[in-house]
């Protein structure tokens, strides 16, 4: 564990040093991500500004939900997104060989080798939306609500990573994962716009258990507003544990079956 921490520290420093070599490559993403965030915010305001209530959630709760999904997405973009999405290309070109022959966990290196500080402004903007949502809802937050919220944000960030990893691991067995990525993008976009509490029946099973994008922002939001039951918390823990186990097992199985594309 200590050696892994030292390795990650050195890897991130090297990554930041490389990015700062090209200043436009460092500051450009700040502008792009900020612009994209503002466009999304205006779109959400146009949609939800005229909606009074969604299954008991008013404008304040919706703002917290949107800010939470954006916060988790920004954490993912900052920490691991660009590393994970490179997995299919590494498998197809045989570049994965270089990772498997090094005395470092290959998944650990791939996950953290492309940290993206350009997404960090989104963290601040997301926090501002959440705070505004809390004020809009005239809420008085307790320490237990805040701690529960932060804990679930961490769990849902892990779940987001698990889902991305699972989809990219199919590249070990198929030529292209583009169609799976399209499904991922569609599900993410849908669950970014619609809170999980709005799903029922078969849709709730799909977006809570099969493709659990529906819980990613919903459970933390419920924790912050004090609406999360013990059953909901246990459900979130079980989902994260199952998908983490699935993702790591699928990765290990894929690596075991991997045949170098360069051979």
pLDDT in 10s for each residue of the chain, 263 residues: 555 666 566 666 666 565 555 554 555 555 555 666 666 666 666 666 666 677 778 888 888 998 899 899 989 988 889 899 999 999 988 899 988 988 788 998 899 888 887 777 788 888 988 998 898 888 778 889 999 999 999 999 999 999 999 999 999 998 889 999 999 999 998 888 888 998 989 999 999 999 999 999 999 999 999 999 999 999 999 999 999 999 999 999 999 988 876 55
Provide the CA 210 distance to its chain's centre, in angstroms: 16
Among candidates 72, 48, 70, which has minimal Cα distance to 60? 48
The residue with tokens 């909606």 is: 51
At a CB cut-off of 8 Å and minimum separation 6, what does 59 contact? Answer: 48, 49, 51, 52, 136, 137
Helix (H, G, I), strand (E, B), or coil: what is residue 227?
coil
Over its C-alpha atoms, the chain yields an Rg (Å, rounded) of 19
Among candidates 57, 100, 90, which has minimal Cα distance to 195? 57
DSSP secondary structure, 75-126, as one string: HHHHHTHHHHTTHHHHHHHTTHHHHHTSSS-HHHHHHHTT--GGGHHHHHHH
Q: How far apart are CA 37 and CA 258, in angstroms?
A: 38
At a CB cut-off of 8 Å and minimum separation 6, what does 76 contact? Answer: 157, 160, 161, 164
pLDDT at position 116 is 81
Provide the CA 27 distance to its chain's centre, in angstroms: 22
CB of 96 within 8 A of CB of 155? Answer: no
pLDDT at position 224 is 95
At a CB cut-off of 8 Å and minimum separation 6, what does 112 contact? Answer: 8, 11, 12, 79, 80, 83
Burial of 224 (0-12, 13-18, 19+ CB in 10 A): buried
């Amino acid at each position: 564990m200590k050696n892994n921490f030292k390795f990650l520290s050195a890897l991130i420093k090297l990554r930041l040093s490389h990015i700062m070599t090209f200043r436009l490559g460092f500051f450009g993403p700040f502008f792009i991500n900020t612009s994209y965030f503002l466009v999304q915010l205006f779109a959400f305001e146009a949609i939800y500004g005229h909606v009074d209530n969604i299954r008991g959630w008013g404008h304040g709760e919706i703002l917290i939900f949107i800010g939470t999904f954006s916060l988790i997405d920004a954490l993912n973009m900052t920490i691991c997104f660009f590393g994970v999405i490179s997995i299919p290309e590494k498998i197809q070109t045989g570049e994965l060989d270089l990772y498997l022959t090094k005395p470092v966990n290959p998944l650990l290196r791939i996950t953290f080798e492309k940290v993206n500080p350009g997404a960090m402004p989104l963290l601040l903007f997301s926090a501002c939306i959440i705070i505004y949502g809390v004020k809009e809802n005239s809420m008085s937050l307790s320490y237990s609500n805040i701690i529960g919220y932060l804990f679930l944000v961490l769990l849902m960030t892990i779940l987001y990573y698990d889902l991305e990893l699972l989809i990219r691991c199919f590249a070990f067995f198929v030529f292209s994962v583009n169609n799976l990525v399209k499904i991922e993008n569609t599900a993410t976009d849908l669950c970014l716009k619609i809170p999980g509490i709005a799903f029922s029946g078969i849709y709730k099973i799909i977006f809570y258990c099969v493709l659990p994008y529906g819980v990613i922002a919903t459970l933390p939001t419920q924790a912050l507003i004090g609406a999360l039951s013990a059953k909901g918390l246990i459900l979130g823990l079980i989902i994260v544990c199952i998908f983490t186990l699935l993702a790591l097992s699928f990765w290990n199985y894929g690596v075991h079956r991997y045949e170098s594309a360069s051979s």
